[in-house]
Chains A and B, each alone.
Chain A
Amino acid sequence: MMSEMIREDGRKFNELRPIKIEAGVLERADGSAYLEVGGNKILVAVYGPRESYIRRLLEPNSGVIRCRYNMAPFSVDDRKRPGPDRRSSEISKITADALRPALMLENYPRSMIDIYIEVIEAEGGTRCAGITAAAVALVDAGVPMKDIVVGCAAGKVNDEIVLDLSEVEDKEGQADVPIAMMPRTGEITLLQSDGDLTEEEFAKAIDLAMEGCRQVSELQKEALMKKYSTE
């Protein structure tokens, strides 16, 4: 195993990009979080639980979460056409699906929680970063949950399984496996795979991504503790 190999940006195979998480950054939102991973800058706002203003979405014995992932037009090198597209609708859906198992929505029947994920700057791995930040914002909003969901990706670059792909690695690499999990129980709430991997490589990628998730999870906890502890 070439574990001592150094990647393009100088990281080891199992090294994350530098992460900064901050909870409770927006005044008007019920909960919010700001997150930086490498070159990603993501802002998440959570509103709710609030009265469901869309009747058809209302659930009689549980709350509903809705999620909108949006990339700012200036978040990437070539200007992105504003508005929802195929990719962002997909990420909106999988983010809501990844967070839902952790939330105890039955405490708020007939209510609705809205999550808005705004990507201010993108540099690979925004869906995982979005999930991580959204989970922090949900805690900040006081939504009861079983665990703080965390997302992280692993992938295959130059025939090597590596953790937390950057934009270049994602584009030029052979595979990308983003996952989200609940770190306490190790339950996986999101698993996607893009590219070709053998069975062993896939297992290895998941193990690596789960290890990454646990590291990010510590930072999430730290950010929340920092926001609310009394000096």
Chain B
Amino acid sequence: MIYVENKDLVIPGQILADDEYYSGRGTFKDNGKVCSSLIGLVSLRNKKIRVIPLKSKYVPKKGDVVIGKINDVRFSMWDVDINSPYSGILPAFEVFGREKKELNKVYDVGDVLFLRVVDVDEIKKAKLGLKGRGMGKFKGGIIVDIAPTKVPRLIGKKGSMINMIKDKTKCKIVVGQNGLVWVKGDEDMEQLTKNIIHLIEAEAHTSGLTNKIKNKLYLAIDGELPPEEAPEEQEEEFVLEKPKLQNFKEELEQEEREAEEKEAEEEEEEEKGDKPNIAKVIQELKRKNKSKDNTLSYGDNSNNSFILNKK
């Protein structure tokens, strides 16, 4: 006997089914009944019941790709905050092998990195590494945080959602499985992307979300709805598969190239005129401002003060 349907919203303690069903993640067995232990959505496969949590904390798992912030530089490792109840460590030999270098010159406190979880030990401390495509430090951009359980939704089927956002906003986006998302692009677009990501988080459990987001994006950027090119209604399934590894190496490399070109250009300009004129001073100031924008801000907390939500 089962008391709920697939995709039903359940709350902790709610009885889901009788004994003949298997209890999967997010559920427990008590007195011959399968009960939910979380607030989430039911996922029913064969005779196994799972509850996909609507909110949860990230627990590090071997092989995950995460975004982390350097918390502390120690003698032979970095302490990394990976948005989880468990902290991560990045040992120095993962970065430069047997070579000896000064750690704080490579990554300093406050730097944000794209990392891979190499190993998780018995006390759940995550050992991190940089081996893999596009792993390394982020320059500039903003960090948006979402619930880790919503990450697959943000990426979409085979990256459909994330690629659409990338194409439309021209932003570079990196999603860590710990619920942190790095966005870099035009300042307005960064903010737009942030809002879109939060919208996806809030409506992750609704169906037809990709199209909804598509319309929103087109409206916000072009001021009109997208042409109806694909009338084939894809029944979107509530999938929570592990997101595929994303390819960021190219993006990061390109970004670095761009930065170098820009610097070279600016240097050339400086060499041209010896006498400082007003135009140059203004340009200099602009450049200074820009470099300020390039420093990484950890989310936008201005509207996050301790206020009650409006009803």
List chain A positions with a Cβ less than 8 A from chain B.
Answer: 22, 24-28, 30-31, 34, 43, 48-51, 60, 102, 104, 108-112, 139-142, 144-148, 182-185, 221, 224-225, 228-230
Are A108 and B39 closer than 8 Å at their CB atoms? no
Alpha-carbon distance A144/B128, docked complex (angstroms): 27
Are B12 and A139 closer than 8 Å at their CB atoms? yes
- Measured between beta carbons, the chain A residues less than 8 angstroms from B38 are 142, 144
Alpha-carbon distance A58/B305, docked complex (angstroms): 30
Closest residue of chain B to A28, judged by CB?
B304
Of B13, B123, B309, which is within 8 A of A27 by CB? B309
B277-311 residues at the A interface, CB under 8 angstroms: 303-309, 311
- Measured between beta carbons, the chain B residues less than 8 angstroms from A142 are 38-39, 53-57, 147
Are B9 and A229 closer than 8 Å at their CB atoms? yes
- Residue-wise, chain B 129-170 has the 8 Å CB interface mask toward A (1 for contact) of 000000000000000000100000000000000000000000
Closest residue of chain B to A23, judged by CB?
B39
Of B9, B30, B303, B306, which is within 8 A of A228 by CB? B9
Of A27, A185, A230, which is within 8 A of B205 by CB? A230
Nearest CB of A to B235, in Å: 17
- Measured between beta carbons, the chain A residues less than 8 angstroms from B206 are 230
Is B28 an interface position by the 8 A CB rule? yes
- Measured between beta carbons, the chain B residues less than 8 angstroms from A182 are 13
Nearest CB of A to B86, in Å: 7
Alpha-carbon distance A144/B28, docked complex (angstroms): 10
Nearest CB of B to A130, in Å: 18
List chain B positions with a Cβ less than 8 A from chain A.
Answer: 9, 11-13, 15, 26, 28, 30-31, 35, 37-39, 53-57, 59, 84-87, 123-124, 147, 203, 205-206, 303-309, 311
Nearest CB of B to A144, in Å: 4
Are A148 and B85 closer than 8 Å at their CB atoms? no
The 4 closest A-B pairs by CB, nearest first: A142-B55, A147-B13, A111-B85, A144-B37
Are A224 and B15 closer than 8 Å at their CB atoms? no
Known A-B contacts A110-B86, A139-B39; the reply to A221 vs B11 at CB < 8 A is yes
- Measured between beta carbons, the chain A residues less than 8 angstroms from B84 are 51
- Measured between beta carbons, the chain A residues less than 8 angstroms from B12 are 139, 144-148
Nearest CB of A to B41, in Å: 9
Q: How many A-B residue pairs have CB under 8 A?
A: 96
8 examples of A-B residue contacts, CB within 8 angstroms: A27-B304, A110-B85, A111-B86, A142-B38, A142-B55, A146-B37, A147-B12, A229-B9
Looking at chain B's contact residues, the main secondary structure is: loop
Alpha-carbon distance A104/B23, docked complex (angstroms): 16
Are B309 and A25 closer than 8 Å at their CB atoms? yes
Are A48 and B85 closer than 8 Å at their CB atoms? yes
Are A146 and B30 closer than 8 Å at their CB atoms? yes
Are A26 and B308 closer than 8 Å at their CB atoms? yes
Q: Give 13 new A-B contacts, CB below 8 A, not counting A224-B11, A228-B54.
A: A22-B311, A30-B55, A43-B308, A50-B85, A104-B37, A110-B124, A142-B39, A144-B12, A146-B37, A182-B13, A184-B15, A185-B30, A225-B11
Known A-B contacts A142-B55, A146-B30, A230-B206; the reply to A51 vs B13 at CB < 8 A is no
Nearest CB of A to B22, in Å: 18
Are A146 and B35 closer than 8 Å at their CB atoms? yes
Nearest CB of B to A220, in Å: 8
Are B11 and A148 closer than 8 Å at their CB atoms? yes
Closest residue of chain A to B307, judged by CB?
A27
Alpha-carbon distance A100/B311, docked complex (angstroms): 31
Alpha-carbon distance A145/B14, docked complex (angstroms): 11
- Measured between beta carbons, the chain A residues less than 8 angstroms from B203 are 230
Alpha-carbon distance A34/B308, docked complex (angstroms): 9
Are A60 and B35 closer than 8 Å at their CB atoms? no
Are B39 and A49 closer than 8 Å at their CB atoms? no
- Measured between beta carbons, the chain B residues less than 8 angstroms from A109 are 123-124
Closest residue of chain A to B81, judged by CB?
A51
- Measured between beta carbons, the chain A residues less than 8 angstroms from B57 are 30, 48-50, 108, 142
